[in-house]
Structure 1
Amino acid sequence: MDRSFARITLEQWRAFVAAAQSGSFLQAAERLGKTQSAISHAVRKMEECLGQDLFVVEGRRTRLTHMGRMVLPRARELVGHAAQIERFCTGFDPEAEGEVAIAIDIIFPRPLLFRALSDYARIYPNLSVIVHETALSGAKAMMEDGRISIAIAGQLPTSTIVEPILPVRFLCVAAPGHPLQALPEPTHAVLKEHRQVVLSDSGPRGVDSGWLGSRRRWTVSHIATSIALVCAGEGFAWLPEHAIRDELAAGRLRPLPLAQGARRVVQLHLGYMDHDGDMRQVLDLVGVFRDAVADAEDEDVGPDGGRRPSDDDAGART
């Protein structure tokens, strides 16, 4: 039998979800505007196609079987995606004009940002996007002030609709000739005696992040400056691994073999405010960012387009 095409229709999945949620074929029929016999027939055809019972009928009520309970979350997702596509097609306006303001933390990989902006421009060629590059609490402050519609950052307001989007791995690194590289396993007490290069907070509160125990610090506002200073041997820093892949490969930077805390992870979140006006364009841009990150993961590459590093690679670089 040819199984290369779907044998269960979307209407049948809708019938299954409605029956599962209401607990009866009759109530499912009323919800969908169909007859009870149409719902029961749809479910029976599904069970024949799957070779599995999805419901057990108990009088006027229906109860999901174990397989039915397993299938239900996936079926809900399928029906939900179909509804989203329908809403997209009915409300999509490629001629929409205006602008959308967003804030992106500077540790978010630039290639993913560029991919998302390029994809969004193909959907809305007449819309302008204002990108504010922020650090630490900067995006949170801008969203609280109502200056942006979307943010990707580690810290966002509690009133924001938030979802995790990307973990960013940091490595503690220094130039090959830095004195710390000559030590077999430097401790944090030793680090205090050496200059640390840190990123400043672009928000008004000046929030600290990570280990700031060094007595001597140089604070800069962009990762590129931090990388240049560390490569020049002026200090050590925790830097996003994706941003220093070339420097690591070329030997311009080397991870410090710390006893503890050589690696850390910052979880970035994607957040937006639920408001009217340009909500359609905002939600579409949120979706574009989701897809950009998911596509990079599906391609099994790092966020900067290179091969995804393994723990063995990191060990070799130390």
Structure 2
Amino acid sequence: MNITLRQLRAFIAVARTGSFTLAAESLFVTQSALSGLIKEMEQSLGVRLFDRSTRRIQLSDIGREIFPLIDKTLLDLDGVLHEVANLKALKKGLVRVAAPQLMCSTLLPEVIAAYREQHPEIEIRLVDCAVESVVSRVFSGEVDFGIGPERDPNSEIRSDELFTLPFHAVFPPRHALAAKKEIRWAELIDYPLITLEGQFTERLSMDLHEGKREFDLAPQATVTFMSTALSMVSAGLGVTICIPYAASLVRLYGLEMRPLLAPVVSRRFYVFTRTGRSLTPAAESLRAFVLKFIAGHPDLQGR
């Protein structure tokens, strides 16, 4: 058997209207084309679906038996097609994004709020996590895409650069460093340094030792979250190091930041997606919006 969707729709239209003329009008086809579809369906099934007379047309016994089954099948199919249309038109959808805790508490809420103004029906779930777990969550399929700093290459992960920014020193407004427009890394030795633990400090130390530079990063304290470091700096316990995408949080704590020189050490941030895995229309839409929004963000210029 080779039953087509057009034949099924023709069968339902005739069964509901009891008229080839009305059914043809409802499907926007000619009466002869409709009759041809019914004839082809009957020939494929090997049964008569309608009993015809000069006065009326009605379902045969077999036609009455299969009508509710075909009707339900077409209703289910129309529901699926409607669902796909809504997803494609961004009238609904769920997007899951993984990002470091600092980015989730500074930059990304701005991006999401701006996106929701254009697409209020899209649900966005932000997964704030440790920097080291962003890529693994993308790889496992727990999230649609991730945003975070550069990591070792992985053939299963696609990386699209989002922005590149240099490290800045962060300190209270009346600190001795506040008089300077730029600060050398070596000048931080004179003050208690608070940094993030783990790969943040390890990678930064490696960068500072490139080219036989003689500056050793020797933090007095390491913490898990930048908000903790900023609180400690605000309390006068030292200075810290931060990427300026978090400038809004730095300002919230009443602190100031200056670029660090000699050397200039930058960090690249990327959007991570799983290679060979297609994004949903909503996820692709948000991903494109993030790239565009970041390109014009005032705290991310001078990349």
Q: Does 1:100 align with 2:95?
A: yes
Does the 8 A contact of 2:165 with 2:267 survive in 1? yes
User: C-alpha displacement at 1:119, in angstroms?
Assistant: 4.3
Q: Does 1:142 align with 2:142?
A: no
User: C-alpha displacement at 1:176, in angstroms?
Assistant: 5.8
Q: How many residues align?
A: 207
Tell me the distance in 2 between the aligned counterparts of 1:127 and 1:254: 36
Q: Does 1:260 align with 2:262?
A: yes
Q: Which has the higher contact order (CA 8 A, sep 6+)?
A: 2
2:238 equivalent in structure 1: 235
Tell me the distance in 2 between the aligned counterparts of 1:199 and 1:148: 25
Partner SS state of residue 143, structure 1? helix
- The 1:103/1:91 distance shift into structure 2, 3 A limit, reads closer
1:122-165 CA-partner distances (Å, limit 9, x unpaired): 55544432212244323123223332211111135442222111
Partner SS state of residue 285, structure 1? helix
Q: How does 1:74-113 map to 2 (within 5 A)?
A: 92-97=88-93, 99-106=94-101, 108=103, 112-113=107-108
Does the 8 A contact of 1:149 with 1:272 survive in 2? yes
User: C-alpha displacement at 1:281, in angstroms?
Assistant: 2.2
Does the 8 A contact of 2:196 with 2:222 survive in 1? yes
Q: Does 1:118 align with 2:119?
A: no
1:161 equivalent in structure 2: 158
**TM-score between the two structures when normalised by the length of structure 2:** 0.52
Tell me the distance in 1 between the aligned counterparts of 2:276 and 2:158: 11
Does the 8 A contact of 1:169 with 1:240 survive in 2? yes
- The 1:284/1:259 distance shift into structure 2, 3 A limit, reads closer
* Larger helix share, 1 or 2: 2
Tell me the distance in 2 between the aligned counterparts of 1:122 and 1:181: 38
- The 1:173/1:121 distance shift into structure 2, 3 A limit, reads closer
The counterpart of 2:225, out of the listed 210, 219, 222, is 222
Identity of aligned residues (%): 15
Does the 8 A contact of 1:151 with 1:272 survive in 2? yes
1:151 equivalent in structure 2: 146
1:80 equivalent in structure 2: none
Tell me the distance in 2 between the aligned counterparts of 1:140 and 1:275: 15
1:209 equivalent in structure 2: 203
User: C-alpha displacement at 1:289, in angstroms?
Assistant: 0.7
Gaps of at least 5 residues in structure 1 are 1-87, 311-318
Tell me the distance in 2 between the aligned counterparts of 1:189 and 1:243: 23
Tell me the distance in 1 between the aligned counterparts of 2:236 and 2:194: 11
